[in-house]
Structure 1
Amino acid sequence: MLSEGKEELIKNFKLRNIEVEFFERLDQASDRIKKLIGLECTVGVGNSKTLKEMKISEKLRERGNKVYDKTLGKTREEVRELKRQSLLTDWYITGSNAISIEGHIVNIDHSGNRVAAMIYGPDKVIVVVGENKICNTLEDAKNRARNIAAPLNAKRAGYNPPCVELSRCVDCKSSERVCFNDVTIEGQYKKDRMRLFIVSEDIGF
């Protein structure tokens, strides 16, 4: 991304009460997260290919944090309870489908637990994205979330709505669809609650 685009992005998110930090590598973002989050803190973790590559759940659990990550659940009830508990944590870490230079964070979710935690509940939120998620405008970010991220995430989760084969959204009514919750975060009323970590790598969907 051009340096002027980077400065504009930082400025626009700051105006929306969201601080931005840039990292060259995913492990640097991981180290920063571990420094920010105290050992006594509870942590919710959203289901994200980026965070799986980071192995942040394992790292935080190994050092003693109580981590609520739905992918650790072995039964449907365990998964449901982990989702619920993650809404009450000190920190919530998640990825995102797209962000805009204008200052938006755009996500399409299946059950909605991830976007729910981003909006309200946890005291602090960290959103980790690769530079490949940066879009120029809100319209571009929505297009990316719907036509790139959603089909790939549906396939990753083992669902087969029409967009998996077509590689684009057709606003289907399929029981296999994963795009039930389309949420755009335009800012935070509480300053310093949300941080956006951007890694200079192509990571996740």
Structure 2
Amino acid sequence: MNEEKFIKLKENFKLRNIEVQYFETLENVKSYILNIIPMECTIGIGHSATLQKVDITSSLLERGNIVYDKELAKNKEECKILKKKALTTDWYITGSNAISVDGRIVNVDHTGNRVAAIIFGPDKVIIVVGKNKIEDTVDEAIKRVKNIACPLNAKRAGFNPPCVTLNKCVDCVSKERVCNSLSIIEGQSDSDRIKLFIVNEECGF
């Protein structure tokens, strides 16, 4: 993204008590995260193709952090337990489906564990976002989430709602839909809680 657009985005998020930082690569982000999170902290991971790409969970576990990541679960029950434990961690790291230059973070979830943790629970939240997730307005961000992120995430997870075939949202009531919880973060009461890390790469869906 161009410098002028980034400055505008950063200023808009600052007004909403959300810190924004810019990184050239995902590896830069990973190194920074490992540097700022103390080894004694507990960490929750919100499922993210972006984070999986740099295998942040393994790096945190190898150095001694306690990490709650549903992708480590051996079965459905264990997955549910890990999701719940992630809600009360010191730090929570996740991706986002879209952000807007006007200062909003937009996500959609299947079970709601990720959007719940972003809103409340963990003491600090890091959201890592590729440049492909940036839209100018919140309306465009919502449109991106429903028509790009949802069909691709549904397909990745092995679900087959109508949007997978049609490549667009038709506001279905399919049992296979993955877009059960739409969340729009418009600000934070705690100016220290949410950190938004933008990467100059195309990451995830």
Give the TM-score, by structure 1 length: 0.99
AA partner of residue 128 (structure 2): V
CA distance in structure 1 between the partners assigned to 2:51 and 2:15 by the alignment: 27
Q: In the alignment, which residue of structure 1 is the partner of 2:156?
A: 156
CA distance in structure 2 between the partners assigned to 1:18 and 1:173 by the alignment: 34
CA distance in structure 2 between the partners assigned to 1:183 and 1:125 by the alignment: 15
Q: Secondary structure at the match of 2:197?
A: strand
Q: In the alignment, which residue of structure 1 is the partner of 2:45?
A: 45
Structure 1 regions of 5+ residues with no counterpart?
A: none
Task: Report the count of equivalent residues.
Answer: 205
CA RMSD of aligned residues (A): 0.5
CA distance in structure 2 between the partners assigned to 1:61 and 1:187 by the alignment: 31
Q: In the alignment, which residue of structure 2 is the partner of 1:134?
A: 134
CA distance in structure 2 between the partners assigned to 1:12 and 1:107 by the alignment: 18
Within 5 Å, give how 1:12-91 maps onto structure 2: 12-91=12-91
Q: Secondary structure at the match of 2:34?
A: helix
Q: In the alignment, which residue of structure 2 is the partner of 1:109?
A: 109
Shift of 1:54: 1.6
Q: Secondary structure at the match of 2:129?
A: strand
Cα deviation 1:65-87 (Å, max 9, x = unaligned):
00000011011110000000000
Cα deviation 1:124-173 (Å, max 9, x = unaligned):
00000101100000011000001000000000110000000101000111
CA distance in structure 2 between the partners assigned to 1:74 and 1:63 by the alignment: 22
Shift of 1:27: 0.4
Percent identity of paired positions between Structure 1 and Structure 2: 59
CA distance in structure 2 between the partners assigned to 1:96 and 1:202 by the alignment: 13
Shift of 1:4: 1.0
Cα deviation 1:37-96 (Å, max 9, x = unaligned):
000000000111001002100110011000000011011110000000000100000000
CA distance in structure 1 between the partners assigned to 2:146 and 2:155 by the alignment: 14
CA distance in structure 2 between the partners assigned to 1:202 and 1:130 by the alignment: 5
Shift of 1:3: 1.3
Structure 2 regions of 5+ residues with no counterpart?
A: none
Q: In the alignment, which residue of structure 1 is the partner of 2:144?
A: 144
Q: In the alignment, which residue of structure 2 is the partner of 1:95?
A: 95
